[in-house]
Structure 1
Amino acid sequence: MPIPVTIADDSMMSRKAVRRALPADWDIEITEATNGKEALAAVEAGKAEVLFLDLTMPELDGFGVLRYLHEHHAKTIVIVISADIQPEAKKLVDSLGAFRFLHKPLNAEQLSQVLFDVGLI
């Protein structure tokens, strides 16, 4: 049974980069979200057991998504992928329960290692 995965990023190119970086043999069903509200809708619909989350998005940013998930969906595995590399941002992301923080541009080998470390592959 495929794992439901959502890629949340307002940039189509960034969403495509995440898709390309995912292991080809990983049995998943991908949903895409262009903002935080769409990401939360995907979580509520059961389409985001794993959530790849950008921090800078319109309508509801990644921090808002993380706050909501921290309170309501602690089982969602969140991997933040962002160009925001400020130490304060990373601390906040960690405190809100994200499993990992990866920097853009995304490295496929690094992503595979994170998926292995988290027990997803």
Structure 2
Amino acid sequence: MITIKKILIVDDSTSARFFIKGCIPKDKGYEFFEASDGAKGVEAYKNFRPDVTFMDLTMPVMTGFEAIEVIKAFDPQAAIIVLTADIQTKTIERVTALGITTVLKKPPVKATVEEALLKIQGIGG
């Protein structure tokens, strides 16, 4: 069971990052960090050591798949939630092979984001 204090949102779309933040409960006092591509996401992860990371898959510079590989090599216990519009079976299988257990469809819904955060904390199913 982990306590979430710091959240990293990695997405090349400013509006998507804003939208994701809007789905996260405001009353928990979370500290937010953002990155606009996978490479910046890896850098932010190493600098800020977030408790949970929301990761887009399709981004310039470094894809979410590549960023997940680097982050997981750096920190095998990293809690990463993938947010993507691409929910094809092969995509889900690929992120699962990288150790990701939670994939949310874009655009996210507040209830599914909250449920994913509870799951990461070991509270939800």
What TM-score do you get using the length of structure 1 for normalisation? 0.92
Q: Which residues of structure 1 form unaligned runs of 5+? A: none
Deviation at 1:2? Answer: 7.0
Task: Please name the residue that 1:19 is paired with.
Answer: 21
Higher relative contact order by CA 8 Å / sep ≥ 6: 1 or 2?
2
Task: Please name the residue that 2:70 is paired with.
Answer: 68
| 1:2-25: CA deviation from partner (whole Å, max 9, x where unpaired) | 712110000011001101000111
Please list, as runs of the form range in 1=range in 2, the aligned pairs for 1:26-37 lying within 5 A after superposition: 26-37=28-39
Task: Please name the residue that 1:52 is paired with.
Answer: 54
**Are 1:107 and 2:109 counterparts?**
yes
Deviation at 1:49? Answer: 2.3
Deviation at 1:104? Answer: 0.4
In 2, are the aligned partners of 1:53 and 1:78 still within 8 Å (CA)?
A: yes
In 2, are the aligned partners of 1:2 and 1:27 still within 8 Å (CA)?
A: no
**Are 1:6 and 2:8 counterparts?**
yes
Deviates more, 1:82-91 or 1:70-79: 70-79
| 1:21-68: CA deviation from partner (whole Å, max 9, x where unpaired) | 001112211011000011001111024221100000000000001111
Q: Percent identity?
A: 29
Task: Please name the residue that 2:85 is paired with.
Answer: 83
Q: Which residues of structure 2 form unaligned runs of 5+? A: none
Matches of 1:120 and 1:45 in 2, distance apart? 25
Q: Which runs of 4+ in 1 moved over 4 A?
A: none
Matches of 1:104 and 1:97 in 2, distance apart? 20
In 2, are the aligned partners of 1:43 and 1:49 still within 8 Å (CA)?
A: no
The SS at the match of 1:75 is coil
